[in-house]
Amino acid sequence: MTIQFTYNVNPSRIVFGQGTSTQVADQITSLGCKRALVLSTAFQADDAKKLAADLGNLSAGNFTEATMHTPVHVTEQAMQVYTSSGADCVVALGGGSTIGLGKAIAYRNDAPQIVVATTYAGSEVTPILGQTENDLKTTVRGANILPEVVIYDPDLTIGLPVSMSVTSGLNAMAHAVEAVYAENRNPVTSLMAVEGVRALHEALPKIVENPTNTDARSQALYGAWLCGTVLGTVGMALHHKLCHTLGGTYNLPHAETHAIMLPHTSAYNAPAAAEEMQPLIDLFGGSIGGGLWDFAKSLNAPLALRDLGVDETDMDRAADIAVTNPYWNPRPVEREAIRGLLQRALDGSRPE
């Protein structure tokens, strides 16, 4: 077997472990910064305000209006607060929505970013920013978008509601499933991807059983780091393109959409990438699509797109968009087969 690849590694500092969220101040000073604007969503405002208070003189205050899909008008408000507060870096406390705001600020002014990640979505380790303006979502990549420091403290994920833990964990798995067959994969990204799925596969049922299980929380966050890392390193294919189309066109919730689609997109690609997917096929009992669907069902994850408020007509349109927008995928993207896949996802039926 010949091995050949080009591997661009994203440079960032990862601080992992229980209690590490107390290291935010040290990380701010290690970056040579003096005043951090602490970001969060309105939902996590209390935690973000406490963090800012704990930072004392290292805090430039809070901006707690981070919103899903990073609307540009919110970023503009945050930029004003950043400037008027005399901040020289950002601390994003939260999931992909808050991290997206920190990235959007850094994209505009090169602000160093420290992320305290509290979901499994993986944005904290990617140089990718998706932002929305006039209902249009655009994606940009850049070295200044990648956060400099990521703190993973499992204690901060204990409060992530079980349903969100499950959908966010499946969202993370989706990055890794697509990474194993990515066109620009390499042996290291494949190892990380398989290990990430393995960790989440082990941890999520334990979290459903007991959300305060700190070992399981730690394991899930470790898996999420690996899955996010491969998302930031190799190209994604059918699954991410379909979720992007569905999310962008019908404003569907991010993690739930990924969770519902994953069994169907992986079943679609399995025949064309059987060798690359073999470790995952084994992990899910011999059938990646059916096994993932059974796994999601056992965790009470949402299974049907219909429950998110879309219908057959929307699926026709999504299938049209999927085939008119060519991109690399291990299996050719054919309209009729994609429409069938979308129907099964709409109905929540088990992939064949």
Binding site for ligand NAD (CB under 6 A): 41, 43-44, 68-69, 94-98, 100, 118-119, 121-123, 126, 128-130, 156-157, 159-160, 164, 168, 231, 254-255
Q: Which residue is nearest to ligand NAD (CB)?
A: 96
CB of 213 to ligand NAD, least distance (A): 15
The greatest distance separating any two alpha carbons of the chain, rounded to the nearest whole angstrom, comes to 60
Our CB check for ligand NAD shows the closer of 162 and 188 to be 162
CB of 45 to ligand NAD, least distance (A): 9
Our CB check for ligand NAD shows the closer of 27 and 44 to be 44
Q: Distance between CA 60 and CA 186 in Å, rounded? A: 42
Q: What would the two tokens of residue 277 be? A: 């997917």
CB of 346 to ligand NAD, least distance (A): 22
Q: How far is CA 58 from CA 61, 89, 94, in A?
A: 9, 10, 19
Whether residue 125 contacts residue 229, with contact meaning beta carbons closer than 8 Å, is answered with yes
Q: Which residue has the tokens 């991290």?
A: 99
Our CB check for ligand NAD shows the closer of 61 and 100 to be 100
CB of 80 to ligand NAD, least distance (A): 22
Our CB check for ligand NAD shows the closer of 129 and 281 to be 129
Our CB check for ligand NAD shows the closer of 147 and 351 to be 147
DSSP string computed for 211-262 = TT-HHHHHHHHHHHHHHHHHHTTS---HHHHHHHHHHHHH---HHHHHHHHH
Q: Distance between CA 225 and CA 231 in Å, rounded? A: 10
Our CB check for ligand NAD shows the closer of 125 and 281 to be 125
CB of 233 to ligand NAD, least distance (A): 11
Q: Which residue has the tokens 């939902």?
A: 43
CB of 313 to ligand NAD, least distance (A): 24
Our CB check for ligand NAD shows the closer of 59 and 119 to be 119
Our CB check for ligand NAD shows the closer of 44 and 329 to be 44
Q: 3-state class of 4 per DSSP?
A: coil
Q: Which residue has the tokens 């064309």?
A: 272
Whether residue 28 contacts residue 164, with contact meaning beta carbons closer than 8 Å, is answered with no
The beta strand positions in the chain, using DSSP E, are 13-16, 36-41, 59-66, 89-94, 113-117, 128-133, 136-141, 149-152
CB of 120 to ligand NAD, least distance (A): 7
CB of 107 to ligand NAD, least distance (A): 11
DSSP letter at 141 equals E
Q: Distance between CA 330 and CA 214 in Å, rounded? A: 38
